[in-house]
Homo-oligomer: A and B are copies of this chain.
């Protein structure tokens, strides 16, 4: 970390600041120039609050050279992490296809889709039970009843299951679920992050629509700081000025996250594009860009879905997509 000190600062003030750093086991390399003094901070600066430092009267600007994320940082953990979801591995060369409906609607629906996606090659089933919706008047999910249906689908197909947690009280209800999903809207719901951190369960952490790459990694850090390293990062589209698509799939985030972090990275082209006809292109792109998996919304009849119908593909379309994904994976 570099701190640029303003020209007007007194020797005394700079000395005080240096002593403060040293008390926190940070060595300081002082370099005086014509227009400013630069302090090079050496040691573990992840505990330094950049905003606090920039707020000081004598500080002109602060630049992090090392990243503020530590446990998620590839520099300190060069090998890929592998996360195990009910026996299915993701990361470190292991690729997984996660598929299922936006929300669990009925026994018929979830069992039919579970069987169809398994037959097409998916390894993990997804389905929402507690649904965060923009409008309080929209369908809010089947709740506990939905979890039971999802477990039934797991029993029938043997597929491990992923479902979303939106509130700290729901953890006991989701106890038998193999992986907890933190949705985009809750990426910075820190109480929830700490809770899933303590649970030790695998967590699928979705990037918030206005979250920077750094913020996503800092949210992973919240989970990991509780001792839970089973975190999968998911790029699911960011909010930009473009409105033809629901969000903008930030495809370069995939190789970038893999460069910065050892955690597995997957993509969700269904929510990112918000348009069934673009899911195929987005999914194949994510695979080609090096993702460790993809999450695809599948519904027996998208036109009748209670939520997410606009971006869901049907069983037949998924079969074709899964085959194409396997082909692209094959040559990488």
Residues of A within 8 A of B (CB): 2, 4, 27, 29, 31-36, 38, 40, 42-43, 46-47, 49, 51-52, 54-58, 60-61, 63, 65-66, 68, 132-139, 166-169, 185-186, 188-191, 208-210, 212-215, 218, 221-222, 225, 238-245, 248-256, 259, 269, 272-273, 275-278, 280-282, 284-290, 302-312, 327-328, 330-331
Interface pairs A-B: 4 shortest CB-CB: A55-B309, A210-B210, A255-B281, A288-B288
CB distance from A6 to the nearest CB of B (A): 11
A131 CB → nearest B CB, Å: 9
Q: Which residues of B contact A166 (CB under 8 A)?
A: 190-191
Q: A239 near B210 (CB under 8 angstroms)?
A: yes
Q: How many copies does the complex hold?
A: 4
If A221-B135, A282-B251, A309-B52 touch, whether A244 touches B289 (CB-CB below 8 Å) is: no
Q: Is the CB of B221 within 8 A of A136?
A: yes
Partner of A188 from the list B134, B253, B273 (CB cut-off 8 Å) is: B134
Chain B minimum-CB-distance residue to A130:
B191
* Other A-B pairs beyond A52-B139, A239-B241, A282-B289, 11, CB < 8 Å: A55-B303, A55-B310, A137-B225, A238-B248, A244-B256, A252-B272, A254-B285, A255-B280, A255-B281, A256-B275, A285-B286
Complex Cα spacing A49 to B308, Å:
10
A327 to B328 alpha-carbon distance, docked (Å): 9
* Residues of chain B within 8 A of A290, CB atoms compared: 281
Shortest beta-carbon distance from A138 to chain B in Å? 5
Q: Given that A210-B239, A240-B240, A331-B327 are contacting pairs, would A55 and B305 also be in contact in the complex, using a CB cutoff of 8 Å?
A: yes
Identify the closest chain B residue to A210 (Cβ): B210
A60: B residues at CB distance < 8 A:
65
Of the candidates B32, B256, B278, which one forms a contact with A252 in the assembled complex, judged by CB atoms under 8 Å apart?
B278
Q: How far is the CA of A256 from the CA of B279 in the complex (A)?
A: 10
Contacts of A34 in B (CB 8 A): 27, 42-43
Q: A302 to B53: give the CA distance in the assembly, Å.
A: 11
Partner of A241, one of B212, B245, B287: B212
A302-B65 contact in complex given A31-B38, A42-B35, A167-B191, C-beta closer than 8 Å = no
Interchain CB contact under 8 A, A256 and B245: yes
What residues of chain B lie closer than 8 Å to A328, measured between beta carbons? 288, 328, 331
Residues of B within 8 A of A253 (CB): 242, 245
A309 — nearest CB in chain B belongs to which residue? B55
B132 touching A190, Cβ below 8 Å: yes
Residues from chain B with Cβ under 8 Å of A188 in the complex: 132, 134, 185-186
Q: Closest chain B residue to A48 by CB distance?
A: B137
For the complex, what is the distance from the CA of A325 to the CA of B312, rounded to whole Å?
Answer: 29
Nearest CB of chain B from residue A7's CB, rounded to whole Å: 11
B310–A241 touching, CB < 8 Å: no
User: Please, how many angstroms separate the alpha-carbon atoms of A249 and B135 in the complex?
Assistant: 25
Query: Could you tell me if A212 and B243 are in contact, using CB atoms closer than 8 angstroms?
Result: yes
Determine whether the beta carbon of B242 is less than 8 Å from that of A250: yes
Q: Which residues of B contact A289 (CB under 8 A)?
A: 281-282, 284-285
